[in-house]
Amino acid sequence: MATAAGMGIGAACLVAPQVRPGRRLRLQRVRRRCVAELSRDGGSAQRPLAPAPLVKQPVLPTFLVPTSTPPAPTQSPAPAPTPPPLPDSGVGEIEPDLEGLTEDSIDKTIFVASEQESEIMDVKEQAQAKVTRSVVFVTGEASPYAKSGGLGDVCGSLPIALALRGHRVMVVMPRYMNGALNKNFANAFYTEKHIKIPCFGGEHEVTFFHEYRDSVDWVFVDHPSYHRPGNLYGDNFGAFGDNQFRYTLLCYAACEAPLILELGGYIYGQKCMFVVNDWHASLVPVLLAAKYRPYGVYRDARSVLVIHNLAHQGVEPASTYPDLGLPPEWYGALEWVFPEWARRHALDKGEAVNFLKGAVVTADRIVTVSQGYSWEVTTAEGGQGLNELLSSRKSVLNGIVNGIDINDWNPSTDKFLPYHYSVDDLSGKAKCKAELQKELGLPIRPDVPLIGFIGRLDYQKGIDLIKLAIPDLMRDNIQFVMLGSGDPGFEGWMRSTESGYRDKFRGWVGFSVPVSHRITAGCDILLMPSRFEPCGLNQLYAMQYGTVPVVHGTGGLRDTVENFNPFAEKGEQGTGWAFSPLTIEKMLWALRMAISTYREHKSSWEGLMKRGMSSDFTWDHAASQYEQIFEWAFMDQPYVM
């Protein structure tokens, strides 16, 4: 428990500047750079202005009690020495000069005082939540620490957006040490906290590292199973055989972190909102129900399952259930039986345990990453075997479209673009197109529509349809550029197609972040013929950059791309074309409609660009929708007591 002195050091103060009577003025925030001991992580970042109330340490279940003598950390950076705290009286000595400031300018000004100087800065007002909560994200990846796909983008951005709205947010993920990623965890400090987890036939010790960044507590679970070459989930030989063990440890550690980690001098406590992402974190709601609430712990906590891709469910043989450390009576929550056609041989009973199914059964609310995908997962075609179970929980199933990070994806500030532009001045986009054509070795022709594709080269992304359609498209006066890697067969096809159509086609095998930004800005049309797409981000990036998307109307693509309608009652509407069903004929029809509009109806095309650029796909918008989900979750008792 934090001492009174510790509480005084970590507190920030509110001071109202003196102004003339009768003048309405908001309370201004005067903040000292307080030098506080941020728990035992050794970090020196500032904490939020209003620390959470001090929570009495709960009585932990006997199966998870922190050991008394922590082991020596390995390869952890030494924390910086802590200077003596500033006296509290220093705040009262700040007298900001208000001369020359209007009432409106004062309302948007924060006074910031450090130990060396005071400065006045203008800031954009940030929307605040009506009710602030303690939110704990559990995930297998989060950008910029470790990322393999869209899951990493979401868990790297959404927590920050929620923190900026006033919530106290923690993200719990593995501390991957594979050589290439080691530098990403360089600022994380050893907390001197560790626990022993009873599972897989023994007790396995994990430790916690912590970094405070962008108003979020990033907590990294450390264990030797996360220290190996390869990517996050496997290597060149396939998925790691002990992934079930690795993410069981993560889930246990995530349940303990809010109870034992004093971050900024305060634990998160028991009244938490757990946001569990995909199968890697899906054991968390099961543990809350099976191993905590029976002991009176986490009775006020709630859990939300976020499904990013239902195709990955964490399925392992039923014989592994005893390894999970769960009571025998909870087997039914994870029980899974493969249909006969999916079994290996005639004697195979198809019995398995399914992590994601366990979360679907026990979570308080379920969210998919788009409204369209929330419907698709309840159908036989898109439910991946869980459609009936998800249909039974329709009352708590919602969809929220992911946001985009406008700090990284903004055509007016993008560091990867040769020219900048905005919705009010589109002149830079034509220059970006010319530079892209020059970079790729294509003829610089502003009159020719440039079509782009960015993504994995696999069956899900519809590359086979593009391959079949290219001969027809190359007869038209267009240019086509593709960026991606994946199936070696499709990679070889891209190379051979480029050699056959030197003036019209370019295929960039591999992936480059700068090139992806320049293609997004330089193309006129972005093609996304995905067979299924839970959310999709490239179409959001394209619209942000004034590039018109042509997509297959599925999942998040259907939700975010509005079909162009030149005859709407209130004038032209729409941001692109969403075709369905997924056939070559429909795809070519949509592309030719876009090409015709680009060539023959310049004013309509400019309207398409501007409507896309004006759409609100920010993370702040998505965060406000998640707050509504949190509110609904806390309205009811836990789904499983």
Q: How far apart are CA 510 and CA 524, in angstroms?
A: 22
Contact by Cβ (8 Å): 361, 389:
yes
Helices (H), 44-196: 103-107, 150-164
* Among candidate residues 521, 289, 281, the one with its CA nearest the CA of residue 413: 521
Contacts of residue 234, Cβ cutoff 8 Å, sequence gap at least 6: 240, 243
- Write down how long the chain is: 641
Q: How far apart are CA 401 and CA 619, in angstroms?
A: 9
Q: Bridge-partner residues for 481, per DSSP?
A: 452, 506
Distances (CA, A) of 565 to 3, 416, 441: 64, 33, 35
Q: How far apart are CA 259 and CA 266, in angstroms?
A: 10
400 CB burial (10 A radius; 0-12, 13-18, 19+) = buried
Question: Given the structure tokens 């067979």, which residue do they identify?
Answer: 531
Q: How far apart are CA 466 and CA 478, in angstroms?
A: 14
Q: Centre a 10 Å sphere on the Cβ of residue 308 and count the other Cβ atoms it contains.
A: 24
Q: Bridge-partner residues for 579, per DSSP?
A: 552
120 CB burial (10 A radius; 0-12, 13-18, 19+) = middle
Distances (CA, A) of 544 to 3, 256, 547: 49, 40, 8
* Among candidate residues 175, 126, 159, 407, the one with its CA nearest the CA of residue 306: 159
Q: Centre a 10 Å sphere on the Cβ of residue 78 and count the other Cβ atoms it contains.
A: 9
Q: How far apart are CA 151 and CA 171, in angstroms?
A: 13
Contact by Cβ (8 Å): 290, 321:
no
User: ∠ at Cα 141 (534, 314), nearest 5°?
Assistant: 65
Q: How far apart are CA 357 and CA 81, in angstroms?
A: 47
Give me the torsion for CA of 421, 427, 430, 435, rounded to 10°: -60
Amino acid letter for position 159: P
Q: How far apart are CA 193 and CA 127, in angstroms?
A: 35
The pair of three-digit structure tokens given for residue 54, joined into one six-digit string: 């001090």
Q: How far apart are CA 537 and CA 555, in angstroms?
A: 12
Contact by Cβ (8 Å): 170, 58:
no
Concatenate the DSSP letters of all residues of 162-175 into one string: HHHTT-EEEEEEE-
405 CB burial (10 A radius; 0-12, 13-18, 19+) = middle
**Does 271 count as an annotated binding residue?**
no
Q: Residues annotated as binding site?
A: 147
Q: Residues annotated as binding site for ADP-alpha-D-glucose?
A: 147
